[in-house]
């Protein structure tokens, strides 16, 4: 039981969440809509950056998992009060948090795999960029899920939560260089793009695939930031899940 | 002496808010629930029932005081307490996109119960809650009462030694309520302990072996329904419609309890004729019935349970 964490029940709750999400198949289907629309724009306006946009679409799709965790955790807590059913049980708060976020991840995996398949066709990367991609996407999932879960516990009304959900998605998913190349960002702001979890992930994958030229300093900054954010926020998410399981 | 399942000592809870004054929800609650007992917390909205239940079920930290579940302190050892309890939250709803069968089974699996046992207990709980015919329909398509029964089924299937049920029959029709009561009685016969909150007086009377009346965060009185009714001072109740202003005229016949425009006179059988005669002289209608928990509640709290 590393770090005193208890994972019993995680798989069962993950399976529950997959089942719940699959009933909303339309939401899963439309989950790729924004990415699809952005890719069409890129196809029409700047076809040469399509591989970069596809990498961005993958990063963005995984980042959206956090928004869904936010909405689901808030809905289950505020509208259904089911968090109390689970928190007053042997299943640990960390199992609840990870079970929910991994269940949502698995449910939304099919559209992500579709984008990955398109990427394979349009820009056939080697194994290294794909390995970097998987590592980066896991870090992005960790960051976004933890942020989403944290925010979901802060409010007592769904309507208050919705603006935060879209604010974070747009500020971290659309504005930074996720769908467009890093080199278009003014030099003075480049560090910020390399520190943000979404754009650092996109930059690292693009760098590994040869779609962007990154200095070793860039790689260190982006990789270090993403690793710290991914691991740090995962532990914070677990800490917060435990704290939120019992109101002060 | 019966083994104690839950013991609370001087539990206090104050909610602090940035936007308003602090609210004292619990002002020193003490109680004990024996193993295998069914105990009800009865009180008006805001009396502190849910706050106490949430503290006892490890979901809320008390400001002071101590609650022990089977000898384990819920504040200091929540992880040890949680396997021993299960909770039906107030206004809790099942996952809308699961069927009742999936809801119960998934919850048992999340609690670490093996597949075979979970399957068997799921079927048993569905049957007990009379959910057999709708067990494979998505919960979103069920009525409010059916959803509530699915929640109760989820919790009773755990067979946890101590069950907390916060308003478990709210929204249920009379038949469904009786079916829940029967299931809860059966559970306590097999050794489980139940602490429930309710503001249904008939439920508290029919279901609980003992009850605590809470008001403004305090326990006003505790005992069996019969003990509480005896405290009222008689065995019969005469309700005089529109007699609210005549309590002085009827005071000599027994205990007068005013409820809105009506007056309840609690008395013995020997005074009934005199009271009815006086009511007739005043041209008021009167009905006679046995003393209920309602009179006891009115007497103890001074207000009707439905009064805001």
Question: Quick one: pLDDT at residue A200?
Answer: 98
pLDDT 10s per residue in chain B (308 long)? Answer: 578 999 999 999 999 988 889 999 999 999 999 999 999 999 999 999 999 999 999 999 999 999 999 999 999 999 999 999 999 999 999 999 999 999 999 999 999 999 999 999 999 999 999 999 999 999 999 998 899 999 999 999 999 999 999 999 987 888 888 888 988 998 898 889 999 999 889 899 989 999 999 999 999 999 999 888 887 778 888 999 988 788 888 888 888 888 888 898 888 888 899 999 999 998 889 999 988 888 888 888 887 777 76
> pLDDT: is A93 or B180 the higher one?
A93
Partner residue opposite A91 with nearest CB, options B54, B93, B111: B111
The residue of B62, B72, B110 whose CB has the most chain A CBs within 10 angstroms, and thus the best one to mutate to test that interface, is B110
Pairing verdict, β B210-215 and B218-223: antiparallel
Q: How far is A87 from chain B (nearest CA, A)?
A: 7
- B4 touches B33 (CB < 8 A): yes
pLDDT tens for A7-50 read 989 999 999 999 999 988 888 888 778 788 889 999 999 999 99
Average predicted confidence (pLDDT) for chain A = 93
CA distances from A173 to A63, A107, A166, A180, A205 (A): 7, 20, 10, 11, 16
Q: How far is B152 from chain A (nearest CA, A)?
A: 11
Question: Quick one: pLDDT at residue B306?
Answer: 75
Query: How many Cβ pairs closer than 8 A exist between chain A and B?
Result: 103
- A36 touches A54 (CB < 8 A): no
Domain boundaries, chain A: 3-247
pLDDT tens for A106-133 read 999 999 999 999 999 998 889 999 999 9
pLDDT band, very low/low/confident/very high, at A1 (cuts 50, 70, 90): very low
Question: Quick one: pLDDT at residue A3?
Answer: 59
Write the DSSP assignment of A44-101 as a string of letters. HH-GGGHHHHHHHHHHHHHHHHHHHHHHHHHHHHHTS-HHHHHHTSSS-HHHHHHHHH
Tracing tokens 């048993």 back to the chain, one arrives at B124
Partner residue opposite B58 with nearest CB, options A9, A15, A246: A246
Q: Identify all chain B residues contacting A13, using CB atoms and an 8 Å cutoff.
A: 106, 110
Whole-number Å distance between alpha carbons of A204 and A212? 9
Question: Quick one: pLDDT at residue A4?
Answer: 66
Q: Does residue A2 carry a pLDDT above 60? A: no
The token pair at A116 is: 């990955």
Cβ distance A88 to B95 less than 8 Å, yes or no, reads no
* Residue A11: CB atoms within 10 Å: 16
3-state secondary structure of B279: helix
**Residue B52 phi, psi (nearest 5):** -65, -45
pLDDT tens for A149-177 read 999 999 888 888 888 888 998 999 999 99
Cβ distance A13 to B110 less than 8 Å, yes or no, reads yes
Whole-number Å distance between alpha carbons of B268 and A35? 79
3-state secondary structure of B177: helix
pLDDT tens for A43-75 read 999 999 999 999 999 999 999 999 999 999 999
Whole-number Å distance between alpha carbons of B92 and B53? 14
Cβ distance A89 to B111 less than 8 Å, yes or no, reads yes
**Residue B112 phi, psi (nearest 5):** 90, 15
Question: What is the largest distance, in Å, between two alpha-carbon atoms of chain A?
Answer: 54
Q: What is the ipTM of this complex?
A: 0.91
Cβ distance A88 to B82 less than 8 Å, yes or no, reads yes
Question: Quick one: pLDDT at residue B243?
Answer: 84
């Amino acid at each position: 039981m590393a770090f005193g964490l208890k994972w019993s029940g995680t798989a069962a709750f993950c399976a529950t969440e997959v089942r719940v999400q699959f009933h909303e198949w339309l939401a899963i289907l439309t989950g790729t809509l924004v990415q699809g629309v952005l890719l069409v724009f890129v196809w029409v306006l700047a076809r040469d950056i399509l591989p970069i946009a596809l990498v961005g679409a993958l990063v963005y799709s995984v980042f959206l998992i956090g928004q869904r965790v936010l909405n689901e955790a808030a809905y289950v807590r505020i509208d259904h009060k089911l968090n109390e059913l689970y928190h007053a049980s042997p299943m640990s708060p960390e199992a609840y948090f990870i079970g929910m976020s991994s269940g949502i991840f698995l449910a939304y995996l099919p559209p992500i795999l579709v984008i990955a398949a398109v990427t394979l066709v349009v820009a056939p990367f080697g194994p290294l960029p794909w390995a970097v991609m998987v590592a980066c996407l896991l870090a992005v999932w960790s960051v976004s899920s933890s942020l989403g879960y944290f925010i979901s516990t802060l409010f007592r009304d769904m309507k208050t939560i919705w603006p935060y959900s879209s604010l974070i998605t747009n500020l971290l998913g659309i504005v930074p260089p996720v769908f467009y190349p890093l080199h278009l960002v003014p030099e003075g702001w480049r560090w910020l793009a390399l520190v943000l979890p979404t754009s650092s992930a996109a930059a690292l994958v693009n760098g590994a695939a040869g779609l962007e030229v990154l200095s070793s300093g860039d790689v260190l900054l982006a990789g270090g930031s993403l690793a710290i954010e991914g691991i740090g926020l995962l532990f914070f998410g677990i800490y917060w899940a435990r704290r939120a399981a019992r109101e002060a | 002496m019966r083994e104690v399942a839950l013991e609370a000592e001087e539990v206090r809870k104050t909610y602090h808010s940035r936007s308003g004054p602090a609210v004292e929800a619990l002002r020193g609650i003490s109680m004990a629930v024996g193993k295998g007992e069914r105990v009800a917390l009865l009180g008006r909205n805001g009396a502190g029932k849910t706050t106490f239940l949430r503290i006892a079920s490890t979901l809320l930290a008390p400001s002071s005081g101590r609650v022990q579940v089977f000898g384990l302190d819920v504040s200091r050892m929540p992880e040890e307490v949680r396997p021993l309890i299960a909770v039906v939250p107030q206004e809790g709803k099942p996952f809308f996109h699961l069927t009742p069968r999936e809801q119960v089974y998934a919850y048992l699996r999340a609690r670490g119960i093996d597949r075979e046992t979970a399957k068997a207990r799921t079927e048993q709980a569905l049957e007990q809650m009379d959910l057999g015919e709708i067990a494979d329909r998505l919960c979103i398509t069920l009525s409010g009462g059916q959803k509530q029964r699915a929640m109760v089924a989820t919790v009773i299937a755990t067979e946890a030694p101590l069950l907390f049920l916060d308003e478990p029959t709210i929204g249920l029709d009379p038949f469904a309520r009786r079916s829940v009561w029967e299931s809860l009685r059966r559970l306590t016969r097999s050794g489980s302990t139940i602490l429930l909150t309710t503001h249904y007086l008939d439920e508290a009377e029919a279901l609980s072996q003992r009850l605590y009346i809470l008001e403004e965060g305090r326990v006003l009185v505790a005992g069996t329904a019969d003990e509480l009714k005896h405290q009222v001072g008689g065995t019969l109740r005469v309700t005089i419609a529109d007699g609210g202003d005549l309590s002085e005229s009827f005071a000599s016949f027994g205990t007068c309890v005013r409820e809105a425009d009506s007056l309840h006179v609690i008395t013995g059988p020997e005074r009934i004729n005199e009271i009815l005669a006086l009511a007739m002289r005043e041209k008021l209608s009167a009905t006679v019935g046995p003393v209920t928990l309602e009179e006891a509640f009115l007497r103890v709290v001074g207000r009707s349970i439905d009064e805001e």
